[in-house]
Amino acid sequence: MNLSVKIGNLELKNPVMGASGTFGFGKEYEDFLDVNEIGAIVTKGVTPKPRAGNPGVRIAETPSGMLNCIGLENPGVDAFIYDILPKIKKYNTAVIVNISAGSVEEYAEMAWRLDIDGVDAVEVNISCPNVKEGGIVFGTDPKAATAVTHAVKTHTKKTVIVKLSPNVTDIVQMAKAVEEAGADAISMINTLTGMAIDINTRKPLLGNITGGLSGPAVKPVALRMVWQVAKAVNIPIIGMGGIASAEDAIEFLLAGATAVAVGAHNFIDPSALKVIADGIAEYMQKHNIEDVNELVGALQA
């Protein structure tokens, strides 16, 4: 059986990867699974300068999900390049670096700095405030998303994946905008904005008040959005949002995703990526499917 898939110029040995923000930099999971056996490592978000993240409570459990407001805590791009990358580029798997920034110029600089050996692709997180434009979020404005995508593409030879926010009126419009700007692939969805309240203290559970909702609760929304976008664009999609089993992953493939990323479920089962990849292979064997790409977009509707 063939489990390999292509995302832009990137060939993955199988279609399962860890979603950014839930898989650290990969090395944190060495005790739980063989990182060499997964499709790719998608790093936690890296920014131009180190970030301490948000103060107060950053994670809260919700029914069938999890809220987080980590605030992009990370050591910054210098520490990633000189301290972390040498330790993770030894793996026999793709390294996709998730990048965030506050301006188009900073995104361009990040792309240029990460156009180096050991980095196979960049995942552009456009769900960040555009500091120079008065707080517009790149991921909700097609023109801003276009500008970021174009800037990144012109400053790197690596595969460029743009991560879309679900907190928009029309995600298809956003997907088309980044495709036209040169994105090699799309990853979706990022977290949905939500909140939770402690009724005894009458205070929000999160220090930031609102946070990003992930986990099984968001899966139907994510699946619908992947299906909509897959019908509208011609570039590969990495589907994510509530994937907790091989069955979940296969649903995303049938809806049109070429690959999948597993997020919150890594905290429940740190060996989940291998379990899900094996489960996809078992499904293929059971249904006499020789190539996993036969499943992509095979929904009969």
Cβ-proximal residues to 246 (8 Å cutoff; 6+ apart), any chain: 275, 276, 277, 278, 279, 280, 282, 283
> Encoding tokens for residue 173?
């419009």
Sheet with 59-62, edge to edge strand ranges: 59-62, 65-68, 210-214, 192-195
Reference 40, options 155, 200, 159, 212; nearest CA is 159
Burial (CB count within 10 angstroms: exposed 0-12, middle 13-18, buried 19+), residue 289: middle
From 19, 33, 85, 128, active-site residue: 128
Q: Answer yes or no: 128 catalytic.
A: yes
- CA torsion sign, 89 to 91 to 97 to 98? negative
> Encoding tokens for residue 109?
């600089």
Reference 43, options 1, 103, 87; nearest CA is 87
241: alpha, beta or left, given left = phi > 0 and alpha = psi -120 to 50? Answer: left
Q: Which of the residues are catalytic?
A: 128
